[in-house]
Amino acid sequence: MRVLEASREMTKVSLDLRAKGKTVAFVPTMGALHRGHISLLERAKGENNVLVMSLFVNPTQFAPGEDYEAYPRDREGDLRKAQEAGVDLVFAPTVEEMYPPGDKTPVRVEGLSEKLCGAFRRGHFQGVTTVVATLFEIVQPHRAYFGKKDYQQWVILRRMTADLGMEIEVIGCPTVRDPDGLATSSRNAYLSEVGRAQARALPQALRGIQEAVRGGDSTPAPLVAEARRLMEEAGLQVEYVALVHPETLEDLEKVEGPAVALAAVWCGRARLIDNVELGEGEKESGGDVFEK
C-alpha cells in the first residue's frame, strides 16, 4: 500500500492505471475508520482492480463551533486498517494541498444542500461537495463508494456528478449497525455509556416508522410525531425527523412509492444521524447490515 500526499502524483498514478485498463475504485474518508468504512472498502475492492482511499478531515464541511478540532484522528490505526482491507493507495493530503492559497471555487448543489441536515449545519454540504468534487478530479476513479447512513450526502453527490457530467458511478452501500441497532459512526466515540443507551432510541424510532409503513400506515405526520416523542422521551434532543422522497428529499404527504425516513439528534455532545428506506426503496436497498 502506497501513501501519497501530492495531488499531481495521485492523478498521475491513477491515469496510468486507467490507461492499463484497470478499474479504479475510490472510498473517500475522514479517517477514524470503523466497520462501516471497512464494509465500503471491502465492497469496492471486490468490484474493482485498484482501490484508492482518501484520508482527509475536511475543514470546510465543519461549521464554526463544530467539532473540527476534536474530530477523532488516528492516522496510524487508519493506515493499518486500510492495509488489512486491501487498499492499494491512500491519498492523504494536507489542508494546503486541497485548498491552495487563494482558492475561491466552491461547488454547491442548490436546494438539496439546504434541506434536513443542511438547515442545521449551514455550509456543511457545500464543504462536502467542494471537497468530493476536488477529490474526484485528483483521484479520477471509475466508481466511488459512500455509506447510505449519510443518506442526504449520497443523494447530493449523485446529483453533483450527474449535473457536472462526471463519469463516475456513485454507489450507496447499506448502513452497518452495531448489535444494539446504532449505526456505526466515528462520532459514536463521543457517547458515554448512558448516552449510548439513550442513542438506541434513534434507530428504534425509525424502525417504528418502517414497521408502521409495512403495516399499511401511509400518512407521515403521525408517524413522524410518534418517532419524535419516543426519542425525546429517551432524552435525545431532536433536530428533525422527516419522511421524504428519496431523490428530491421533499416532504411527502403520503407514502405511496419509495420513501425514506431520516432523523438527526443530539445525545450529549454527539450529533447523530440515521435513516431507513421505506416502501419500494426498502426492497431495492436490501436492508442494513447488523454486526454480531
Q: Where does this chain bind ligand PAF (CB under 6 A)?
A: 28-30, 58, 61, 128, 131-132, 150, 153
| Three cell numbers, residue 67 | 467539532
Q: Which is nearer to ligand PAF, 231 or 249 (CB)?
A: 249
Least distance in angstroms from the C-beta of 12 to ligand PAF: 22
CB 146 within 8 Å of CB 7: no
Query: 7-19 vs 124-139: helix axis angle to the nearest 10?
Result: 50
Q: Which is nearer to ligand PAF, 85 or 255 (CB)?
A: 85
Map residue 145 onto helix, strand or coil. strand
Least distance in angstroms from the C-beta of 74 to ligand PAF: 14
DSSP assignment letter at 174: P
Residues 6+ apart with CB under 8 A from 132: 28, 144, 157, 160
Amino acid, single-letter form, for residue 80? R
Can you give the three-state secondary structure of 201-236, one letter per residue?
Answer: HHHHHHHHHHHHHHCCCCCHHHHHHHHHHHHHHCCC
Q: How far apart are the first and last CA of the chain?
A: 29
Exactly one of 34, 37, 124, 142 is catalytic; name it: 37
Least distance in angstroms from the C-beta of 127 to ligand PAF: 8
d(CA 217, CA 280): 14
Tell me how far apart the 2 most distant CA atoms of the chain are, in Å: 58
DSSP assignment letter at 148: G
Using CA atoms, how far residue 161 sits from 43, 152, 231, in Å, is 21, 14, 35
Least distance in angstroms from the C-beta of 245 to ligand PAF: 22
Known catalytic membership, residue 142: no
Least distance in angstroms from the C-beta of 109 to ligand PAF: 14
Catalytic residue set? 37
